[in-house]
Amino acid sequence: MITIDGNSLSIEDVISICKNHEKVQLSPAAEPKIIESRKYVEKVLKENRSVYGITTGFGELANKSISPDKAEKLQENIIRSHSTGVGTPFDKEVVRGVILLRANALAKGHSGVRIIVIETLLELLNKDIYPFIPSQGSVGASGDLAPLSHLALALIAEGECFVDGKRVCADIVLKNAGITPLKLKAKEGLGLINGTQVMASLGCLAVNQAKTLLKNAQIAGAMSLEALKGTAKAFDARVHELRPHPGQLNVAENIRNLIDSSEIIASHKDCSKVQDAYTLRCMPQVYGAVADTIDYVYRVLSIEINSATDNPLIFPKQDEAISGGNFHGEPLAFAMDYLGIALSEIANISERTIDRLVNPHKSGLPAFLSRDNGLNSGFMVAQYTAASLVSENKVLAHPSSVDSIPTSAGQEDHVSMGTTASRHARDITQNVEQVVAIELLASAQGMDFWNMEPGKGTKIAHDFIREHISFMDEDRILYKDMEIAKRLVTSGEIVKAVEKYINIKS
């Protein structure tokens, strides 16, 4: 059971709840602040003060006064009118993250909602209810208005939820689960939809994948170094101490540990080759920069998931509601663009390494890693697939945050596009996983042509791959091998096998 209080949620908690369906509860310590902020909202209504979103309209319509007796209708209307999402619905992991993060933001006690709103969100999580939330329609400015409205629709039994892959009316799903639909009070509709929780959920999942992916990439790179009979010199600690970026130091050490005691590397210690191609010898510099980028994104998300991002924010002790801009997604937009760009660079190096492995003019290995090439095409077209994914990433990695388009009659005249950045970063992550999986297949095949002992770490990885995918002696249906390899990458199984014996620094 994970307890939320608006302040102490970790990305590891988010992943556990999204992927492992960990149960969640509201901390009793958070309740006094939630109750206090709610009392302020009720005070505003009683005194008929002019406070945005409580006794006024929304966006450009903030100049329209709403009488207290219509406060509840106002909140229902905003949910209905803002439910304008389109496109493929988010998968269950993303939706669970959205529900959790919205509940955690409300638990900070600056949103003016009742405790029952938070508890109902947690009921959805704990009873594994999966609301229908389309993935497109957010500009990431006044938060994720459209997608969060679809979540709120489910809470009031007017939306839809998935049951066995089919969209079912939320009122039926809630009734079957024993969940009482919410009857929204003043401020609660706005409180549910003003926030960055969609982009943050996508971000947490992507950055968690990225950490495992980078370790897989280093394992693949070390295996390729051996398959291509590269040198260990470029990973000498003395080189990297002269440019001591944390990620670079760690990656160089990781590669040294993975290829330690390699007979393949040692076999050509005194050969005439002076240096390796950049894809091999610059792994610490490139993958190290990726590691530092992941750390930056991780810090941004760790702050964001424990932030109050709706509007207005309630400060009951000061008897004040302040309209600010915490809902603006720019911090996440930058971070997720940066993550997508960095991960694309993994695939750029990985694909060029695959090309080097299959090219007999560069590798010293049989053409396309096939003994009887000509009759067999080997890994020829697997490299095409990697190239295709790399090119797709170049489009996806174009920064979403450099774009803005005015909304709400110009009142919301600058937007972040952070949700688009987050969606693209997650798509890029999945593409890169497949490219690295292909490199692992190709490098394992290449290593098998050298009748020598690999390094301590690369041997573990090679043998683990061979437990699931055999050497390709002649052409066979290759996409099945590629699917298995991607599963081993995504699940982190190869990394876990290696890390039983060798620590791979993050």
* Domain that residue 158 falls in: 2-195
Per-residue pLDDT at 71 = 81
Q: Which of 165, 195, 225 is the last residue of a domain?
A: 195
Query: CA–CA separation, 27 vs 25, rounded Å?
Result: 6
Residue 323 lies in a domain: no
Does residue 44 sit within a domain? yes
151: tokens are 């979540």
What is the tens place of the pLDDT at every residue in 125-164? 999 999 999 999 898 888 899 999 999 999 999 999 999 9
Q: Are residues 81 and 178 both part of a single domain?
A: yes
Q: What is the pLDDT of residues 390-440, one digit of tens each?
A: 999 999 999 999 987 888 777 777 888 899 999 999 999 999 999 999 999
Statement to judge: residues 389 and 240 lie in one domain: yes
Q: Which residues of 251-277 are buried (b: 16+ CB within 10 A; e: fewer)?
A: bbbbbbbbbeebebbeeeeeeeeeebe
Average pLDDT over residues 345-363: 96
At which of 195, 214, 230 does a domain end?
Answer: 195
Average pLDDT along the chain:
94
- Domain membership flag for residue 408: yes
Residues 236 and 175 occupy one common structural domain: no
Mean of pLDDT values over 445-453: 95
Judgement on whether residues 129 and 221 belong to the same structural domain of the protein: no
Q: Is residue 237 part of a domain?
A: yes
- Report the domain count for the chain: 2
Determine contact, residues 159/170, Cβ cutoff 8 Å.
Answer: yes
Above 90 in pLDDT, residue 248?
Answer: yes
Q: What CATH number should be reported for the domain holding residue 128?
A: 1.10.275.10
- Checking if the pLDDT of 8 tops 70, the result is yes
* Claim to verify: residue 148 and residue 288 sit in the same structural domain: no
pLDDT in tens, 89-122: 999 999 999 999 999 999 999 999 999 999 999 9
The encoded tokens of residue 424 equal 């693209």
Q: Are residues 51 and 182 in the same domain?
A: yes
pLDDT at 388 over 90: yes
Among 174, 195, 216, residue at a domain's last position: 195
490-504 core/surface letters (b: 16 or more CB in 10 A; e: else): bebbbbebbeeebeb
One domain, residues 176 and 223:
no
Assigned domain for 325 exists:
no
**Rounded to whole angstroms, how far apart are CA atoms 433 and 435?**
6
> In this structure, is residue 233 part of a structural domain?
yes
Predicted pLDDT of residue 58: 76
Quote the pTM value. 0.95
What letter would DSSP give residue 25? Answer: E
Q: What is the pLDDT of residues 200-237, one digit of tens each?
A: 999 999 999 999 999 999 999 999 999 999 999 999 99
442 in the same domain as 391: yes
For this structure, is 52 an active site residue? yes
Express each pLDDT in 162-193 by its tens digit.
999 999 999 999 999 999 999 999 999 999 99
For residue 324, being part of any structural domain is answered with no
Give the tens place of pLDDT for each residue, 274-298.
Answer: 688 999 999 999 999 999 999 999 9
Reply yes or no on whether the pLDDT at 271 is more than 70.
Answer: no
Q: Per residue in 428-446, is it b (16+ CB within 10 Å) or e — as a string?
A: bbebbbbbbbbbbbbbbbb
Pairwise CA distance, residues 377 & 368, whole Å: 7
User: What is the arithmetic mean of pLDDT over 78-97?
Assistant: 95
What per-residue confidence (pLDDT) applies to 131?
A: 97
Residues 145 and 273 in one domain: no
- Asked whether residue 505 is domain-assigned, the answer is no
- Shared domain for 282 and 429, answered yes or no, is yes
CA atoms within 13 A on the CB side of 305: 28
% of residues, the chain, pLDDT over 90: 83
CATH number at residue 411: 1.20.200.10
Catalytic residue among 52, 287, 296, 298: 52
- The predicted pLDDT at position 270 comes to 67
pLDDT value of residue 54: 85
Residue identified by tokens 């067999």 is: 376
- Whether residues 113 and 131 share a domain: the answer is yes
**Statement to judge: residues 185 and 231 lie in one domain:** no
Q: Which CA distances in Å does 482 have to 212, 226, 291, 439, 442?
A: 18, 21, 25, 10, 10
